[in-house]
Each structure stands twice: as C-alpha cells, then as structure tokens.
Structure 1
Amino acid sequence: MALMFGDEEFEMAWGELDEPLLAGGWELFTETMGVRIYRLYSKETGLYEYKVSGSLDGCPPELCSEVYMDLNYRKHWDSYAKDDETTVFDRTDPASEELSCFGSELVKHG
C-alpha cells in the first residue's frame, strides 16, 4: 500500500528534480542507466531513507510506478525489499511524459 505524502513534501521533492539536495549525510548508493539512488541512515531508527533521481528512456511513468510500488513483485527483483520493512511514499505527475515518480522509502537496516 502506498502512502501519499503531503503538499509540502511534494514541493520539496519537486524542487529536487534537477539536482537532489544531499546535505545532512546522504550518500550515493548506486547509479545505473541514468538513475541515481541515494540513501541516508538514521541511527535512531535503524532505517535507511532512499532518494531516487533520474529518467529511464523508453519506460512510461505508469509502468515504472507500477513496478516500483508493487512490493510483492518488487521482492523478486530487489533484494533490499523485505516483508513488512519497506514503506513507500509516492506522488506522481500523471501528465508528465518523463519519469516523474518521486519516491522515498524507509528500509530496515541489517
């Protein structure tokens, strides 16, 4: 189940489309095919928060969102997605022709 985040969080994510804000300990986790994934570890919760930035040429936004947000299917291709340990917050712009999935998730560390 996806949890929609509020307008303030959406505006913050929108402001990061061209250049993600990485102050405060964000680190580049991986980069491939024009997509960068950053993560931020919280010692207090033991969770990582992730930011995904980039475009996937030839991948419609609806398909990207569907694959990314389907946590049952995601467990087949993402070894970091665990049962009851991943919460995805999503806000998309369905009118956009480019990938516009703003994603933030918390994943239990370890």
Structure 2
Amino acid sequence: YLAMLGYKAANLPLIPENELPEILFKLDPNIIVGLTNRVEVINRHRDARMREYGITSPTKYASYDRIQEEFDFAQEVYERIGCQTLDVSQRSIEESAAIILKMLDLHKHEG
C-alpha cells in the first residue's frame, strides 16, 4: 500500500526457517517498522483461508503453536534490529500506513 502511494517500501515475511538478508541488519533501524498482530487473529484468518481452500483437517500453517513460533521469531528479529513496531491487529491497511508515515516522520526530525 505504501509503495502504491509512491513511497519506497518493502514487505519481508519473517519465517523462522528462512535466512534473513544481511542488508536488513545494515539499514538504519529508524526507517524500519516491524508489523505485529495478535496470534489469535492470525489463527482465525489462516483457519478461514484453509476452509476456503477446502482443507478441513488441521495444518501446521494454521496451528496456534506455529503462529506463536513465527510471532516469537519476529519479535526477536525486531529486537535485534532495534526497530519500532506497530500492532496492526485492529487496523485497516490505510490506517496502518498513516501511522507508519507518522512514526517515520517523527524519527526524520529527531536527529
């Protein structure tokens, strides 16, 4: 959404089994915002997605434990980077984008 508005933006999925690109740790942490969501919210969305695909048996992808593992991994990455985070669990894409722009603008004027 931010890229559609003309901003340079990237979305990097944080998956525990995937190696992170080294550049992530070389960037200024003030230009990075880590997105978070509640595990329960992601679990509901993934369960619904699996049902839409006709998959009714439990999957690792939609399991609460797997989502918690991904959440914990993301938190570790955000701490390692030292970036700000934003909980998007109750926000629209547009609202999240507006908040991110404000967060980044604050840092732009601090130093």
User: What TM-score results when the alignment is normalised by the length of structure 2?
Assistant: 0.26
Q: Choose between structure 1 and 2: higher helix proportion.
A: 2
Query: Higher Cα Rg: structure 1 or 2?
Result: 2
Flag the structure with higher strand content.
1
